[in-house]
C-alpha cells in the first residue's frame, strides 16, 4: 500500500507542468516565494533554458515574468511552441506587446488588486519622508561629526495640506483613503470621474483639468499606467504650474515624468522636491543628475516589496498559469486593445 501511495505521489509530481522563470535570488524570484511555484510546476530558469532550448522549449507551458524578465522577445517565443500563458508579476504591462504575444496563441495575465495597498503605502511613505526631511535627519543623526541638530532642518506640513492624485484607480483611491487620515484636502484627475459615493467616502474633489490640480496641490502623486498618452505626462509645462513649495511623488512608471524637465525644475526651485519610486532606466546611470540633487528622494521601485504582497502576487500568477494550462477561464487575462 505504501508503495502504491508513493507511486501515486511520484506520478502526480511528474505530471506537473513546466514553467520558465528568470532566476532565483536577488535578480529574480525571492527564495521565500519559490515554494509557491514549486507546489504546482517544474521550474526551469532562463540560464538553464538557454543552454539547451531544444530540450526545454517544447515542454514549457507557462512563463513567469518578474521585473520584466524573461523578456517576451520573438527569439524566445519562437523557442516555446507549447507556451500557453505569460504571467506578469505586477499590474503594468507596458513592456508587453499583447497583440503580438496573442498571435502565438499565448495569453497574457497580470496581478491587479493585490499590489494596491503596498503601493499606496509606499506613496505615502515617500510623501512623508520628503515632507519631513526624514533621510536628511537620519544622515545627521548617524554622522560621527554631528554635535548638534541644525535648526535649518525644516520640513513642510502634511496635515491639512492639499493632495493632488493623478490617476484615481485602485492604487490612487487607496492613497486617498490614507491621506484622509492626515486631514488632507484631496483633489484628483482621472480619465473617468469616480462615483459620488466614492468621492464622498474619501472627501475627494474631481478636477476635470489637470492644470487645476497642479496649481492647487501641495503634493502631487502620480499613479497612472504607462501608455502612449501618459508618456511624458509631467514635463516642463506641468511642473511650471506647480507651487514652488510643491512636491512631486511618482509611483507609476519612470517614463510618465520627463526626467530632464524634472532636473531643471528641482535645480531652479520651480518645485520644492520630488520623491520617486520609479525612474527610467532602473537603476539610473550612476552619473545621472537626479542622483546628486539634495531635494530628490529615490527608492528602487520597491512599491510592492513586502513579503505578504509578493506572496499574494506569486499566488495569483500561479492561479493564472494553472487556469491557462488546464484550458479554464483565466481570471486575470489582459485583453489586447
φ and ψ at 292, to 5 degrees? -105, -5
Region class of 167: left (phi > 0), else alpha (psi between -120 and 50), else beta = left
Residues 99 and 137 in one domain: no
The single residue of 56, 194, 253, 272 carrying the catalytic annotation is 253
Angle between helices 31-38 and 307-325 (to 10 degrees): 20
Residues 64 and 171 in one domain: no
Q: Quick check: is 191 catalytic?
A: no
Residues 47 and 158 in one domain: no
Expressed as residue numbers, the domain containing 68 is: 1-113+306-334
Please, are residues 45 and 34 in contact by the beta-carbon 8 Å criterion? no
| Residue with the three cell numbers 520651480 | 270
Residues whose CB falls within 8 Å of the CB of residue 177, separated by 6 or more in sequence, listed in order: 120, 202
Residues 319 and 205 in one domain: no
Residues 173 and 212 in one domain: yes
| Residue with the three cell numbers 490614507 | 178
Q: Quick check: is 301 catalytic?
A: yes
The single residue of 23, 136, 199, 282 carrying the catalytic annotation is 282
Res 320: pLDDT: 98
**Cβ atoms < 10 Å from Cβ of 200:** 10
Residues 58 and 181 in one domain: no
pLDDT in tens, 250-288: 999 999 999 999 999 999 999 999 999 999 999 999 999
Digit-by-digit pLDDT tens for the chain (337 residues) are 444 444 344 444 568 999 999 999 988 999 989 999 999 999 999 999 999 999 999 999 999 999 999 999 999 999 999 999 999 999 999 999 999 999 999 999 999 999 999 999 999 999 999 999 999 999 999 999 999 989 989 999 999 999 999 999 999 999 999 999 999 999 999 999 999 999 999 999 999 999 999 999 999 999 999 999 999 999 999 999 999 999 999 999 999 999 999 999 999 999 999 999 999 999 999 999 999 999 999 999 999 999 999 999 999 999 999 999 999 999 999 998 7
Residues 291 and 310 in one domain: no
Residue 52: CATH number of its domain:
3.40.50.720
pLDDT in tens, 199-243: 999 999 999 999 999 999 999 999 999 999 999 999 999 999 999
Residues 101 and 196 in one domain: no
Residues 158 and 263 in one domain: yes
Residue 257: DSSP 8-state: B
Please, are residues 36 and 314 in contact by the beta-carbon 8 Å criterion? yes
Q: Quick check: is 333 catalytic?
A: no
The tally of domains found in the chain comes to: 2
Residues 210 and 242 in one domain: yes
Residues 287 and 149 in one domain: yes
Amino acid at each position: 500500500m505504501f508503495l502504491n501511495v508513493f507511486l501515486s505521489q511520484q506520478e502526480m509530481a511528474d505530471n506537473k507542468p513546466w514553467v520558465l522563470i528568470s532566476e532565483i535570488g536577488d535578480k529574480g524570484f525571492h527564495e521565500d516565494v519559490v515554494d509557491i511555484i514549486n507546489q504546482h510546476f517544474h521550474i526551469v530558469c532562463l540560464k538553464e533554458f538557454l543552454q539547451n532550448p531544444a530540450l526545454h522549449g517544447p515542454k514549457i507551458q507557462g512563463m513567469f515574468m518578474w521585473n520584466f524578465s524573461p523578456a517576451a522577445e520573438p527569439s524566445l517565443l519562437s523557442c516555446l511552441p507549447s507556451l500557453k500563458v505569460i504571467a506578469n508579476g505586477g499590474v503594468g504591462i507596458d513592456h508587453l506587446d499583447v497583440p503580438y504575444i496573442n498571435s502565438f496563441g499565448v495569453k497574457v495575465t497580470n496581478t491587479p488588486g493585490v499590489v494596491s495597498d503596498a503601493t499606496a503605502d509606499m506613496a505615502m511613505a515617500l510623501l512623508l519622508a520628503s515632507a519631513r526631511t526624514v533621510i536628511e535627519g537620519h544622515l545627521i543623526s548617524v554622522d560621527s561629526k554631528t554635535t548638534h541638530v541644525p535648526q535649518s532642518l525644516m520640513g513642510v506640513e502634511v496635515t491639512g495640506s492639499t493632495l493632488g492624485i493623478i490617476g484615481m484607480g485602485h492604487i490612487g483611491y487607496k492613497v486617498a483613503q490614507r491621506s484622509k487620515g492626515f486631514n488632507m484636502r484631496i483633489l484628483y484627475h482621472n480619465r473617468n470621474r469616480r462615483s459620488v459615493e466614492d468621492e464622498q467616502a474619501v472627501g475627494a474633489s474631481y478636477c476635470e483639468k489637470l492644470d487645476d490640480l497642479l496649481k492647487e496641490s501641495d503634493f502631487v502623486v502620480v499613479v497612472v499606467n504607462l501608455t502612449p498618452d501618459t508618456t511624458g505626462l509631467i514635463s516642463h509645462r506641468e511642473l511650471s504650474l506647480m507651487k514652488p513649495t510643491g512636491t512631486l511623488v511618482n509611483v507609476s512608471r519612470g517614463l510618465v515624468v520627463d526626467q530632464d524637465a524634472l532636473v531643471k525644475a528641482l535645480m531652479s526651485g520651480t518645485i520644492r522636491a520630488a520623491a520617486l519610486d520609479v525612474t527610467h532606466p532602473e537603476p539610473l546611470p550612476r552619473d545621472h543628475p537626479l542622483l546628486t540633487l539634495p531635494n530628490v528622494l529615490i527608492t528602487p521601485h520597491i512599491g510592492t516589496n513586502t513579503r505578504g504582497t509578493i506572496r499574494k502576487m506569486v499566488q495569483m500568477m500561479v492561479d493564472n498559469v494553472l487556469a491557462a494550462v488546464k484550458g479554464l477561464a483565466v481570471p486575470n487575462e489582459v485583453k489586447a486593445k
